[in-house]
Chains A and B, each alone.
Chain A
Amino acid sequence: MSNLIKLDTSVNISKLKLKNPVLTASGTFGYANEYDDFMNVGNIGAIVTKGITLNPRTGNPQPRIKELKNGLINSIGLENIGIHNFIEKKLPVLRENNINFIINIAGESIKEYVELAKICQSNNIEAVELNLSCPNVKSGCLEFGKDEETLYKLVSEVRNCFNNTLIVKLSSNVSFPEKIAKTAENAGADAISAINTVKAMHVEVKIAASGLSPARNDNAIFEYIKGGLSGSCIKPLALNFIYEIRQHVSIPIIGMGGISCFQDMLEFFAVGADAIQVGTANFTHPDLSEALVSELNNFMKQQNYESLAELVKDLRYEY
C-alpha cells in the first residue's frame, strides 16, 4: 500500500511553491532551458537565473576562472544580457517550458535594485533573489550585504515595490552572520539564500631555473586571480553560516555551497536549510540536480517518509 502513496517532496518558500527542494544556483545554469541538453530542467524545484542587471554588462577581463583542487575561483564580473533582453528573450522560454524559476538581480545602487524589482513586479515574476554579495564587481553587491543599515534600507525599499517572494542572498564574508540575516528578515525578506562565493585569491609564483631575479620584469612569473571561491572546499563555511543564522531567523533558508551529492544535501537540511541550490557541481555533472531529485524520492520511499517536511524534521540538529 505504501508504494501507492504519492510522495510529497514539495516545499514552500513563502508564496513560492516548489515541487521539490532542489534548485540550481545563479551563474551556473544559464537563464532558462540551457541544460535541457543534459536533463529535464522542468523536473527540479526551480532554477535561479544568471545574475541580471538593469543594463547588459560585459564583465571582467580574462582570466576569469581558476580551477583548484576542491574548488573554483571565478571572476566573471556579472556579464549578463540585462533585464530587458531577459524579459524579451528568456522569460517566454521559461514560461513555455513550465520551468519554475527565480530571477537573480544585482544593482549598483539602491535605485537600480528598486527599478529591477519594479520590472519584475510588472512582469508578474514569482520570485526574486537579491544578489547582495557578488565579490566580483567594483561597486554595489557585496557592500550592500555587509552593512546592516544599508541592507535594511535596500531590502525594505525593494519589498515596497515587489509583492511576490523576495529572497536575499547573503555572503559569508561578514563578521556577524546572524545580525545580517536578522536585518534582512526585519526588512521584509521572505527567505534567505546562502552562501554566495567566498572572496579568494589564487597566486602562482613561477620560479625559473635561473632563479627569480633575471625574470623580475617578466609578468608571467607572477600570475594571480582574485574572485569568488565555490565548490566543495566552501561547504564547511556554508554549513556553519546556515547553522548560525538558523537560530536567529524564522524565514526559510535556501542553502548552498559545495553541494555535489545527496549526502551533502541532507547535511544542509540538518543545519537548517529548507531547500538547496546546486552550483559549481553543475559544471562537472550537468544532470546532478535532476539526479538529486530522484535520489531524494528513492530515499524517502525506502525510509517510509511521506513528506519532505517529515524527513527534514528528523534530520534537524537540535540546538
Chain B
Amino acid sequence: MQLKIQNKIKGPHIVEVLSNIKLSDDTWKLTFQNQTIAKTAKPGQFISILCEDLLLRRPFSVANVKDDTFEIIYKIKGKGTKYLSSLQSGDSADVIGPLGNGFNIENKSSLLIGCGVGIAPINFLSDIFGKTGVKHTFVECSQIALCHCERSREPNFLTKCQKIRGTIHQPLINKWIASSQAPRNDNHIIITEDGSAGLEGRLDDHLENIINEVKPEKIYTCGPNPAMKYIVQTAEKHKIPVEVALERDFACGTGVCMGCVIQIKENDTIINKRICKDGPVFKGNEVLW
C-alpha cells in the first residue's frame, strides 16, 4: 500500500527576499524567508525559481537554512541569474521545493569539497555536520575567494589562510580551529586559483595532500563535472566512497519530463536516472561521466 502523500507541500511558495549580497564580482547570496522550505530542506536538495521573462524555472541548491530562512548562492551567467541579482529585500519570488534527494548523512569522518558555486550545498552540509558533531573538513575551491561562510568573514581568517598558502600544514590548521570563535569542529580549507585566499592553485594541486592529511572515510562534493570526476577517480585510488551532487538544465525539475537523465551503472547494468528526481546526489563511482 502506498502511503497517501500530503498534497501541495512543495509549492509554489511565494517567498520574501530578505537580502541579496554580492560575494564576488559575479557571485551572489540570496536569502529568502519561508518556513516550509527552511524546515524541510536537506543538504543537496534544490529549489526552483520562476524568473521574469523565462519559460522555465531555474534550479539552485539550498546553500543553508537558519530558523525560517534559506539561502542560495548563484553566479550570474544568463537571464535567470541576472533577474535574481535584481531582487531586493522585500521583493517576493515564486519558488517550488525542496526538490530531489539530499546527501546521505553518515557519522563518518568526511571530506567536503565544494568547487565554484558548487560550494552551496557543501556549505549547508558542513553546517549540519558542525551542528551534529560529525568530524569533517570543508574544502572550498574557487577562482577567487567567495568568503561566504560565517567563519571566513572573521577579520583574521583570510590572513590565517594566506599564511599556509602553498602547503597543508596540520599544526596551523589546528591553530585556526583552536582560535576560532565559531562553535564548529571542522577544518576549513580554502583553495583559490589566484591565491587571493588560502592555498594557491587548483584542486588537483592539493587534493592528494589533503586526502593524505585528513584521511577521510567519505567524500561529498559538488562542482563542475570535470572536478567531480577527478575527485571520484582520486578517491577510488584511496578506496574512499564519494557522493556527488550533479546538475544539468532541467525542464520540469520534478521528474516528469525525462529531460535531465544521466546514465548510472547500478549492479553492472547501465540505467537512466533523472538528476532532478532520482538525484541530484549520486554515488560517484556509479556515474558514467
Q: Mark B199-224, 1 if CB is under 8 A from A, else 0.
A: 00000000000000000000000000
Does residue B251 face the partner (Cβ distance < 8 Å to A)?
yes
Across the interface, which residues of B come within 8 angstroms of A295, CB to CB? none
Chain B contact residues, majority secondary structure? loop
Query: What is the minimal beta-carbon distance from A36 to any residue of chain B, in angstroms?
Result: 5
Quick check: which of B2-10, B102-110, B184-192 contacts chain A, the rest being far away? B2-10
Quick check: which of A203-211, A244-252, A280-288 contacts chain B, the rest being far away? A280-288
Give Cα A28 to B258, complex, Å.
Answer: 9
A29 touches which of B7, B56, B256 (Cβ 8 Å):
B256
* Residues A65 and B259 in contact in the complex (CB < 8 Å), given A37-B10, A38-B12, A39-B8: yes
Q: Mark A3-41, 1 if CB is under 8 A from B, else 0.
A: 000000000000000000000000111100111111110
Known: A65-B251, A284-B50. 19 other contacts (CB 8 A): A27-B258, A28-B252, A28-B257, A29-B256, A33-B5, A35-B254, A37-B7, A38-B254, A50-B258, A59-B272, A62-B262, A65-B260, A67-B251, A71-B55, A79-B258, A96-B2, A285-B12, A286-B11, A286-B254
Taking Cβ atoms with an 8 Å cutoff, the residues of B that contact A are 2, 5, 7-12, 50, 54-57, 96, 248-249, 251-262, 271-272
Give 20 pairs: A residue, B residue, CB < 8 Å, sorted on A: A27-B258, A28-B257, A30-B256, A37-B7, A38-B96, A38-B254, A59-B258, A64-B258, A64-B259, A64-B261, A65-B257, A72-B251, A76-B258, A79-B261, A280-B251, A283-B252, A283-B254, A284-B50, A284-B56, A286-B254
* Residues A38 and B8 in contact in the complex (CB < 8 Å), given A72-B56, A283-B56, A284-B55: yes
Is there contact, CB below 8 Å, between B7 and A39?
yes
Across the interface, which residues of B come within 8 angstroms of A282, CB to CB? 252, 256
Q: Mark A61-81, 1 if CB is under 8 A from B, else 0.
A: 010110111111010100100
Give Cα A69 to B79, complex, Å.
Answer: 11
* Residues A231 and B55 in contact in the complex (CB < 8 Å), given A37-B5, A96-B2: yes
Across the interface, which residues of A come within 8 angstroms of B261, CB to CB? 59, 62, 64, 79
Give Cα A59 to B180, complex, Å.
Answer: 52
- Closest residue of chain A to B252, judged by CB? A283
Does residue A201 face the partner (Cβ distance < 8 Å to B)?
no
Is there contact, CB below 8 Å, between B55 and A58?
no
Give Cα A65 to B271, complex, Å.
Answer: 19
Interface residues of A in 225-278 (CB under 8 A from B): 231
Across the interface, which residues of A come within 8 angstroms of B5, CB to CB? 33, 36-37
* Residues A74 and B251 in contact in the complex (CB < 8 Å), given A36-B5, A38-B8, A65-B259: yes
Is there contact, CB below 8 Å, between A68 and B8?
no
3 cross-chain pairs, A with B, having the tightest CB-CB distances, nearest first: A65-B259, A30-B256, A37-B10
Give Cα A271 to B271, complex, Å.
Answer: 44
